Amino acid sequence: MTAKKHVAKSGKQKNRSARSQMVHGQPITAAWNFSRHLIPPITSNTTYRLDSLDRGARGFMQFGSDESKNKEQILIYDRLDEPNTLLLEEQLSLLEGSEAAVTFGSGMGAISATLLSVLKSGQKIVAHRNLYGCTYSLLTDWLPRFGIESNFIDVTCKEHRQLLNDKTVRVLYFECVSNPSLDLADLPAIMKDVQRINKSRSESDRIIVVVDNTFATPWALRPLEWGIDIVVHSLTKNIGGFGVEMGGAAMCAKKFERSLKLARKDFGAILNPKSAWHVTVHGIPTLAVRFERQQKNAMAVARFLERHPKVERVLYPGLRSHPQYALARKMLRTPEGEFAPGTMISFVLKGDMGRCRKFVDHVAKNSYSITLAVSLGLTKTLIEVPGYMTHSAIPKDKLAGSGIDPRMIRLSLGIEDERDLIADLDAAFRSL
């Protein structure tokens, strides 16, 4: 299988670059015509006036269904649909190359709703061993209460092949670039295996592949081009970009849209209109330029760390030393065809946990350009220790099995001057 070229969805955007589409978007939706606005306004309604009972009835019937396609969108209540989120969803579909996009109040809201919308009691998930801590908690603590079990494997070693033959397996879940170990999933190889198995299954039993593309972003990787069913993102991270609003999204084929919207409606994980507006107006238009600057910094810092005598190993897909460098060169590409290894680095210091703690604490107390904080993909450079922070939901005795060294330090590169970042890291090394 080969990736398909990014294709614009409407006439006006036809033959326009992805970079320009991210800036200008698609200002006309079925719900609201923004074409007279340079910047769309923020809506502030929770409920909408209906001029007849028939209109109200049609609105509920159309919600999340194919009936709404190419028809006037009837707005009823924010928990169903709302103009700013609908505009953002149009833009996300354009960016990811999907038929549909559904937004949520957080990345975990998107992940939870997606899995609950396609799974039922007695079915199983096969997931990559290295996952974001809260995702791991969802799969191990919460979904078993609904009779949904998970098996954790290493998708980079093709361990999924035998497990997928189990008829009760409904979902294969992984992060395209894993958090925090930066494992790369071989999408074309995985989809070849899944498609082979699905040939012998009915539509209701086929394996659905769900991936988290938060690390790579649609600027570096568009998984739907490789046959993936549903792509989830934390909009709080790279796509939002500034650390001021939370959000999540699932991009998918049209056939998944209704169940995702119903899950959002019933579980209530809705995106605030102000947050949707921010991502549409500030986040997406600046994604390419932010990502490029952050990636430049990541490469410079990764090379600095790789040469440093106090560093045991560095994980960054842009380095030739990365175990999947060839795969990274193949898959991590911008819509313009440029190699895009990303903005995230993980590294391990020589020595014990005490040395790791001393290094990070020095950064936290003395660094100007690097901040000890969770999250990622922001304009400011962030440092954290996943085993003690973002991935603390994973029991300590299972960290190694998840591919996470407790000493592993994660860096999310911002847009600062690379010389300042290296100077702050160098000072922390000299403190050891």
Q: Which domain holds residue 315?
A: 286-430
What number of residues does the chain have? 432
The CATH number of residue 318's host domain is: 3.90.1150.10
Report if residue 106 sits inside a domain.
no
Outline where 130-256 has alpha helix (H): 133-137, 160-163, 187-198, 217-220
Report if residue 314 sits inside a domain.
yes
Quote the CA–CA distance of 409 and 429 in Å, as a whole number: 13
Quote the CA–CA distance of 194 and 164 in Å, as a whole number: 8
360 secondary structure, DSSP code:
H
Report if residue 9 sits inside a domain.
no
Is the pTM higher than 0.75? yes
Report if residue 16 sits inside a domain.
no
Report if residue 312 sits inside a domain.
yes
Instruction: State how many domains the chain has.
Output: 1
Outline where 138-239 has alpha helix (H): 160-163, 187-198, 217-220
pLDDT tens series, the chain, 432 aa: 344 444 334 445 567 888 988 888 876 666 677 777 888 888 888 998 999 999 889 888 888 666 555 567 888 888 988 989 999 999 999 999 999 999 999 999 999 999 999 999 999 999 999 899 899 999 999 999 999 999 999 988 877 777 888 999 999 999 999 999 999 999 999 999 999 999 999 988 999 999 999 999 999 999 999 999 999 999 999 999 999 999 999 999 999 999 999 999 999 999 999 999 999 999 999 999 999 999 999 999 999 999 999 999 999 999 999 999 999 999 999 999 999 999 999 999 999 999 999 999 999 999 999 999 999 999 999 999 998 888 887 777 777 777 788 899 999 999 999 999 999 999 999 999
Report if residue 423 sits inside a domain.
yes
Report if residue 347 sits inside a domain.
yes
Report if residue 370 sits inside a domain.
yes
